[in-house]
Structure 1
Amino acid sequence: MLYGKTIVALCTPKIHEATNHRFITTFAKCLASCNARLLVYSTPSELFWNSIDEQGEKAVFDLINYDITDAVVINEEAIKDKDTVRRIILDARAHGLPVITIGAQYPGCTRITFDYTAGFEKIVRHVIADHNVKDIHMIAGIKDNAFSEERIDVVRKVAAEYDVDFGNDDISYGEFWSVPTESAVEQLFVRRRSLPQAIICANDTMAITTVSVLKRHGIKIPENVIVTGFDGINEIRYSTPQITTCLCSSEHLALTVSDTIMQMLSGRAVPGSVLVVPELQASESCGCTTSVKLNASEELTYINNSFNRYQNEEEHMFRMISRILECQDFSEVANELDKYDFYDMVIALNPECTDRTFDPLRKHSDSVFADTVKIIYNTNFPMHGRIDDMRKSDLHPNLKDMLTEHEEPLIFLSLNYMGVPMGFVCFSYHDYDIQNYYKASQITSTLNTAFGAFRSMQYQQYLTEKIEEMYRCDGLTHLLNRAALKNLYPELLKKCSGTMTVILADLDGLKHINDNYGHDDGDYAICAVADALRSCCPQNALCVRWGGDEMVAVIPGTISSEEIYRSVDAYLENLNSISGKEFEISASVGIKSFDLTDSSDLEYMIRMTDELMYSDKNQKKELRTRR
């Protein structure tokens, strides 16, 4: 329980599908009436193919905060990846939470599902008994499929009760969809001398197709042939005649699940399996009448408006992708997102997503989501380019308000690119318009593409810069190399006001250090001189490793030679005092300013400065000899 509300987690795919949408709508309202709130963890697909994208989609289930959750409901029948179902169950049971599966039975869980056998028997009895049909044919689903075989057995049972002949020749297979069904119905005209009195289909999709094929051949329904379906999908309302079916009511299922959860949480015993019997809806395709009348004008207007809205939003999303790809970092992305109206939405990203040095195609942690995520968009509180931190376990920056001031569910989907989780989105729509549920999937898909492509571009840019740096810079000292100096020098000349200063610093005694202390210490000494030179030069200087232990700085304008000498000596003296090395590091330095009207030849200027450096080195040797 959280903020005085019972929290129920629902794991389900494809929230925009009509049956799932109806279930969520009724379920959330039932829970709200019991002072409970629904958190929906959803995937855009049913996780059937185990593809790379689906690996990223199912990361959303790692977002479930079991510490604040009181019960878990899994739409097991719709989630095709059963390993994912089992993992959710294990995690929930490890936290001592009751689990309801809608579909198959799992140990330790309460199963709630439709009694498809009883429902299908209703429709078969209606055809045979109520309409006195003696000649039937069945369009089954997939051969040897459990659901299909179960419905064949129902027809055999009822037919036997009423002495109706029904054998294997009276069965065709439409595989639960339209194309094989069309072929199966066409074969009836070849296989049989006359059509049956009734064709009983294992689902509505096959019934609609059967009606279409029969009408194409001039067969009247139901005058010549009765046709029935099963499931109660929306499309049967648009069929002429309307299809007789058995409705697997999402609303009835949601009421049953809600009541069962409340019983479980109140400590009352519940059966391990609860069956919801589908409701017979006799209609025109069997010769019955229906009170459901379709207003074609209203329906067509709604469909047309929905399609136009979808097209407009798709174009809107496409333009947004282009805008995001033009941004320089995620702060700009956050600012760009504020220009779009995403209704009630929050976007949270893993921290590495905002760091362009991370490879977007690799997971950088064993955890799917970081403990702290980055909020880059919040409808209720525009970010204006700001990026806020939030604990992942909080789920929403305004979770308390969402749970206490609204009854509608919070809907979570993962953000991922090529299977690598990037974060998540949370939708908190304040109505149950199915168009918003469609848009949730649309927005998530767009953000996956936009953020994935943006991160890839950022990472490629980072790698390009690193490669350029490797080409331009010396690997040991990280100063520029000679090739880079030659490329950059012409640009430096353009910025120069007539005088150029060259500094040349050479490490003293490199051979002695290498021979007596090793090459690692020799490299340390070379880097020390490079750092000393860099530290005393202005920002616009080009600092270069010219040779093994020689460093060059080219500076536009004139600078104080004495100041440079003092700075290099002071830097190295300080380093010697704290380094703990058994040797001291010193450098000989030559400094010379050149009038560019005389010559701008860089090789010449370095050669002249090199003579000054050697003069300084020789003076040091003479001083050491005198001592």
Structure 2
Amino acid sequence: MIHGSKVVSLCISRLHDIENARFVEHLNKHLRKNGCSLWVYNITTDLYWEENKIIGETSIFDLIDFNITDVLIIMEEKIKSKAISAQLIQRAHEKNIPVVMVDGDAEDTAVVRYDYARGFEQVVRHVIDVHQVKRLHYMGGSPGNPFSEERLEIFRSVLTEKGLPFDDKSVSYGYFWAKPAKAATEELIASGDLPEAILCANDIMALNVSSVLQEHGYRIPEDIIVTGFDGIDEIYFSVPCLTSARCGTSGLADSVYQAVIDSIQYGQTNRHYLVEPSLMIHESCGCCTGHGHLTPERMHSFNDRFYRYQDDNRVLSAMSERMQRCVSLPEASWALYDPTLQDMCCIIDNRCIDDTINLLEMPYATAPENDSMLLFFDTDETPFVQRPIRRDEIIPNLKQHLQDGYPLIFNAISFMNVPLGYFCFYFREFEITDYCKIPQIITMLSFGIGGFITRRYQRYLLRRIEEMYQYDALTGLHNRISFNKAFEALKIQHSDRALPVTIILADLDGLKNINDNYGHAAGDQAIEAVARALQHSCPPGTLCVRFGGDEMIAVVPGKSDPNTLDMDIRNTLEQFNAVSGLPFPVSTSLG
């Protein structure tokens, strides 16, 4: 709890997917009524294929503060990482925080899941009972995938119950995606033994199965029935409209909310909450005609997201480029002010301020012990001034945001797989286009911030290389090449008038004796002492050069008193000898 509000932390992937965004909207409405605040920790891609490749982005889960979290929700099927889920559960239980698993299963957690088996069974029975189909084919996801195998078992058991044929030829695999589903359909057509109906384990495969069949001249549903599962919005754009089973977000949000309330009241429970998908009967099974579900509102939403995506991409790309051309941190944040960015702030590791640190090669702690973060950008503050922000502040004006009641959405700033901080979105109105552009904002601004930091470090390296090229490493004086360049520039600067110049020649006394008796390191100390005395005693604007070995020259432009300079140099060396602890005095011959 913080500022009088219970904190419900939700771990999710792909919040920009419409159903996920709707789930957050519904859940937040429930939680607000019960004095709870929803904090969403989001990654833009699931971890099924890349669990060990996107460490930078998954660092957002390390941001969760279990000292203030009241309930943790993990959407495991969205994140698709048993390892991440196990780590989060362990951290929560160490603080006695109850955990609600959505579409996952783990010991000592409440579990909320769709009753996928019951939902798919409705589709199978509908096709058999209503349409009297005798020869059915199952288009599964991936072999061995638990969701695909569960639906296969339902398919097999219903066919067995009805006395219908089933064998290995009754199953194909489309791997839950478009291209494999198309390839599997082509194989079915080529076999010359098409079934009366193809029942797919998800809508994406069903849409592509339908497309391939129609390309080959088959009519749906007259020649062959095709059904899907999930109830995604895209089915309303298919011709014919796809029969499916909807795993609706509203029912899921209701059950998750109940699990959260039970967890707050009773602590950790092992209760299971089942959400039954609803059968969606449309044209592809032959039940109804017309395309009435393609409403103007749905068409407008798709159209708006499509064109907004293109426009926002262009704006954000230009913004990222502007940031990388900036020189200072404030200038980089000013490059972000654009109407495309609203209701968000950006907080970076305070070490990003130091241009001498290569952040891409140093270990990163998402919770620095020194509590060092920097408020890099905030759309709510105009004019904006960057400032330090404590870790426990989390975001500016947190108390007001909690009172306003919208969800707080956190994403990592990741560049070259190195986390540099985090974004927080606090959309004051639920607009699906805002949620859809989260990945674009994160990608473009992460590249902008990371590129800015990298280019700034490169400029630092160039300065260091230039210093190494221009200045003697031991004494810090000009070397011959840079001295000649600086002296020519001095002559050009004063070419319109006569300028008196004093030239001082300094030669360390007894360098060979020092090297022979005390070592070359001692000789270097003596050379360095003379160089410092020369620099310290000469006025600003003097060109000091190590001309070779122990020989140094100082060119003093303008009027000066050589005797005073001589005395200052010798006095400086006397002061050095008094405290140096060297077994020999350092002196110089001057001319």
TM superposition score normalised by structure 1: 0.88
1:537 and 2:545 matched = no
Distance 1:369 1:192, change over 3 A: farther
C-alpha distance in structure 2 between counterparts of 1:507 and 1:52, whole Å: 60
Q: Offset of 1:178 from its aligned partner?
A: 2.5
The residue number in structure 1 matching 2:456 is 458
C-alpha distance in structure 2 between counterparts of 1:320 and 1:369, whole Å: 29
Percent identity over the alignment is: 38
1:362 and 2:361 matched = yes
Letter in structure 2 aligned against 1:508: D
C-alpha distance in structure 2 between counterparts of 1:269 and 1:84, whole Å: 20
C-alpha distance in structure 1 between counterparts of 2:459 and 2:241, whole Å: 59
C-alpha distance in structure 2 between counterparts of 1:191 and 1:519, whole Å: 87
C-alpha distance in structure 2 between counterparts of 1:182 and 1:515, whole Å: 84
Say whether the 8 Å CA contact 1:510–1:522 is kept in structure 2. Answer: yes
The residue number in structure 2 matching 1:285 is 284
Letter in structure 2 aligned against 1:259: Q
Q: Offset of 1:483 from its aligned partner?
A: 2.4
C-alpha distance in structure 1 between counterparts of 2:282 and 2:234, whole Å: 14
2:478 pairs with 466, 477, 480, which one? Answer: 480
Could you list the per-position Cα deviations for residues 524-545 of structure 1 after superposition, in whole angstroms to 9, with x for gaps in the alignment?
2222221111112233221111
Say whether the 8 Å CA contact 1:377–1:383 is kept in structure 2. Answer: no
Distance 1:464 1:89, change over 3 A: same
Distance 1:45 1:131, change over 3 A: same
1:234 and 2:233 matched = yes
The residue number in structure 2 matching 1:561 is 562
C-alpha distance in structure 1 between counterparts of 2:459 and 2:326, whole Å: 13
2:425 pairs with 420, 424, 427, which one? Answer: 427
Could you list the per-position Cα deviations for residues 103-135 of structure 1 after superposition, in whole angstroms to 9, with x for gaps in the alignment?
231222222211211211121122222333323
The residue number in structure 2 matching 1:85 is 85
Q: Secondary structure at the match of 1:328?
A: coil
C-alpha distance in structure 2 between counterparts of 1:184 and 1:308, whole Å: 33
Letter in structure 2 aligned against 1:485: F
The residue number in structure 2 matching 1:593 is none
Could you list the per-position Cα deviations for residues 547-601 of structure 1 after superposition, in whole angstroms to 9, with x for gaps in the alignment?
32222111222212233123223323333344344543333322xxxxxxxxxxx
C-alpha distance in structure 2 between counterparts of 1:215 and 1:420, whole Å: 47
Distance 1:358 1:140, change over 3 A: same
1:60-459 equivalences in 2 (<5 Å): 60-192=60-192, 195-267=194-266, 270-289=269-288, 293-295=292-294, 297-338=296-337, 342-367=341-366, 371-382=371-382, 384=384, 386-404=385-403, 406-459=404-457
Say whether the 8 Å CA contact 1:368–1:421 is kept in structure 2. Answer: no
Could you list the per-position Cα deviations for residues 342-386 of structure 1 after superposition, in whole angstroms to 9, with x for gaps in the alignment?
1011111112222221124212445565721111111111354x3
Say whether the 8 Å CA contact 1:338–1:377 is kept in structure 2. Answer: no
C-alpha distance in structure 2 between counterparts of 1:316 and 1:303, whole Å: 20
C-alpha distance in structure 2 between counterparts of 1:89 and 1:382, whole Å: 40
Letter in structure 2 aligned against 1:112: V
Could you list the per-position Cα deviations for residues 91-111 of structure 1 after superposition, in whole angstroms to 9, with x for gaps in the alignment?
222222111222231222222
Say whether the 8 Å CA contact 2:507–2:589 is kept in structure 1. Answer: yes
C-alpha distance in structure 1 between counterparts of 2:366 and 2:474, whole Å: 36
Could you list the per-position Cα deviations for residues 239-275 of structure 1 after superposition, in whole angstroms to 9, with x for gaps in the alignment?
2222221111122112111111111111167434332
C-alpha distance in structure 2 between counterparts of 1:373 and 1:154, whole Å: 53
Letter in structure 2 aligned against 1:12: I
Letter in structure 1 aligned against 2:305: S
Q: Offset of 1:414 from its aligned partner?
A: 0.8
C-alpha distance in structure 2 between counterparts of 1:248 and 1:157, whole Å: 22
The residue number in structure 1 matching 2:550 is 549
TM superposition score normalised by structure 2: 0.93
Say whether the 8 Å CA contact 2:241–2:291 is kept in structure 1. Answer: no
C-alpha distance in structure 1 between counterparts of 2:326 and 2:58, whole Å: 29
Q: Offset of 1:430 from its aligned partner?
A: 0.5
C-alpha distance in structure 2 between counterparts of 1:583 and 1:187, whole Å: 93
Say whether the 8 Å CA contact 2:236–2:294 is kept in structure 1. Answer: no
The residue number in structure 2 matching 1:501 is 502
Gapped regions of structure 1 (runs ≥ 5):
591-627
Letter in structure 2 aligned against 1:47: L
Distance 1:447 1:112, change over 3 A: same
Q: Secondary structure at the match of 2:507?
A: strand
Letter in structure 2 aligned against 1:552: I
Q: Offset of 1:517 from its aligned partner?
A: 4.5
Say whether the 8 Å CA contact 1:42–1:60 is kept in structure 2. Answer: yes
Say whether the 8 Å CA contact 1:360–1:452 is kept in structure 2. Answer: no
Letter in structure 2 aligned against 1:202: A
Letter in structure 1 aligned against 2:360: L
Could you list the per-position Cα deviations for residues 411-450 of structure 1 after superposition, in whole angstroms to 9, with x for gaps in the alignment?
1111121111111111111012121112222111111211
Say whether the 8 Å CA contact 2:63–2:366 is kept in structure 1. Answer: no
Letter in structure 1 aligned against 2:416: M
Q: Secondary structure at the match of 1:199?
A: strand
C-alpha distance in structure 2 between counterparts of 1:562 and 1:494, whole Å: 28
Gapped regions of structure 2 (runs ≥ 5):
none
1:571 and 2:572 matched = yes
1:490 and 2:488 matched = yes
The residue number in structure 2 matching 1:622 is none
Distance 1:364 1:271, change over 3 A: closer
C-alpha distance in structure 2 between counterparts of 1:461 and 1:34, whole Å: 53
Q: Offset of 1:39 from its aligned partner?
A: 0.8
Letter in structure 2 aligned against 1:520: A
C-alpha distance in structure 2 between counterparts of 1:241 and 1:299, whole Å: 17
C-alpha distance in structure 1 between counterparts of 2:93 and 2:411, whole Å: 23
Q: Secondary structure at the match of 2:76?
A: coil
Q: Offset of 1:190 from its aligned partner?
A: 4.0
Distance 1:183 1:546, change over 3 A: closer
Q: Which has the larger radius of gyration?
A: 1
The residue number in structure 2 matching 1:6 is 6
Letter in structure 1 aligned against 2:31: L
Q: Secondary structure at the match of 1:466?
A: helix
Q: Offset of 1:516 from its aligned partner?
A: 5.0
Distance 1:224 1:93, change over 3 A: same
Distance 1:512 1:214, change over 3 A: closer
